[in-house]
Amino acid sequence: MRWTNLGVALMATCFSVAVGDDTPPPVEKFLIEGRLADGAAAMQQLVEANPTDHQAWFSLGVVQFFQAVEGLGQDQFRYGLLAGRARALPFMRLPIPENPAPEEISYDKAKALLQKFITGLTQAEQTLSSVKADDVRLPLKLGQVRLDLNSDGKPVDEETMWYISQMLQNPRQTAVATSVVDFPVTFDAGDAVWLQGYCHVFSALGEIALAHDWSDQFERTAHLFYPKVDSPYKFLEAEGTGAFMSFGAQNIFDIVAWLHTINYEVAEPERMQKALMHMETVIRLSRQSWTLIESETDDENEWVPNVSQKSAMTGFTVGREVVAGWREFLDELELILQGKKLVPFWRGIKGGVAPFERLPHNSKLGINVRKIFLEPTRFDLALWLQGTALMPYLEEGDISTPEKWQKMMVNFQGNFFNFALWFN
């Protein structure tokens, strides 16, 4: 598999559970039939009857996670996310079917669906934190798991995780029925912690979005994604879609406007602090997950394998240098989030630096990332890239240099981004 965008990261998250013995766990039939609410209710009964049933806790957390993802998909369907157009854009590639009668979406409704997603993730994460047994196992045929993305109560093959994964990898393919593959994966205690971490990853992204006011951008450009938008600029939605992957020639101006309006005031600064907490928790959970993974002695369709195991995903292996590199990356990232190390700054260098050039960097001034979360200011993309908007966060101190990162990247043989999406 090629993990090429955050949408695929979302797919990776959907594939985080476990397979143990040959007996399907009670939750599997609910997931395969796409009856997530019934599955959640059944697993809730199991944990209430036996609070030490860690497989039941794991199962409930997995169902709740899938419910959060399914709910996001259903909300996007409700408002008519332009499926053909969205698949051509990064971060929007969950294959939501076209809605012939979509509701009008507003800025407040868009924020509400994000908050709903975060709330669902929080519930799943709290449930997964109750999985305490190091030997817990959860066998699932993940490729057969179904999400009712269009809320019709009839999950079909085009709503299986296997089909969704194929569309995420090749979003421009036509919606031809794909043979559904079981894709069995053996997930265990380390994967329960792994899924907790991904709940925090997506929660952090959601909190960052909700911390800012992007109403102006939404009203001017949301017609790129939705057919009916509550906006003063109603004439925009009258144009409809175009011939080129649903885009028309005039949409180039909308894309320019979208970039131009990445200029957000901070509306809820406390959410930035929550995002920082989520990111710091991801680091802690990643370390915990790897401690559990490295202690495993079995080798059965592993999701994230240790150096002695094989992954269920063909083509992915984990060597000692990769694990060591990942732990080194976590250490460096933690120091940055704690404000003990600064991120390189690209201005104030004699002679200047060409845009996007890796070296050199300012040897005296660096960016205090922790302050960005604790003392957030207006996010103006152009001024952040130019550097002047970062003035409140510039300090002298220990800088996490590009040379340091280049040295760490050697461990991943050019595939750091793929491993980062996989490992979280």
Q: Where are the domains of the chain?
A: 6-210, 319-423
- Residue 4, class by beta-carbon neighbours within 10 Å (0-12 exposed, 13-18 middle, 19+ buried)? middle
> How large is the average pLDDT for residues 242-264?
91
pLDDT at 1 over 60: no
**Which among 301, 107, 91, 337 has a CA at the least distance from the CA of 191?**
301
The H-or-E segment that residue 251 falls in is helix 251-260
131 within 8 A of 192, measured Cβ to Cβ: yes
Helix ranges restricted to H, 79-221 = 83-86, 107-128, 161-169, 189-211, 215-221
pLDDT at 421 over 90: no
- Residue 383, class by beta-carbon neighbours within 10 Å (0-12 exposed, 13-18 middle, 19+ buried)? middle
Calpha distance 150→148 (Å, rounded) = 6
**Which segment of 63-72, 114-123, 348-357 scores lowest on mean pLDDT?**
348-357
405 within 8 A of 375, measured Cβ to Cβ: no
**Which segment of 65-74, 179-188, 349-358, 386-395 scores lowest on mean pLDDT?**
349-358
- pLDDT at residue 3, rounded to an integer: 38
Phi and psi (nearest 5°) for 225? -115, -25
Per-residue pLDDT tens over the stretch 267-318 = 999 999 999 999 999 999 999 999 999 999 999 889 999 999 988 887 778 8
- pLDDT at residue 108, rounded to an integer: 98
Greater pLDDT, 39 or 301: 39
Beta-bridge partners for 242 = 246
DSSP 115: H
Per-residue pLDDT tens over the stretch 87-145 = 555 545 567 888 999 999 999 999 999 999 999 999 999 999 999 999 999 999 999 99
pLDDT at 8 over 50: no
Per-residue pLDDT tens over the stretch 195-215 = 999 999 999 999 999 999 999
- pLDDT band per the 50, 70, 90 thresholds, residue 9: very low
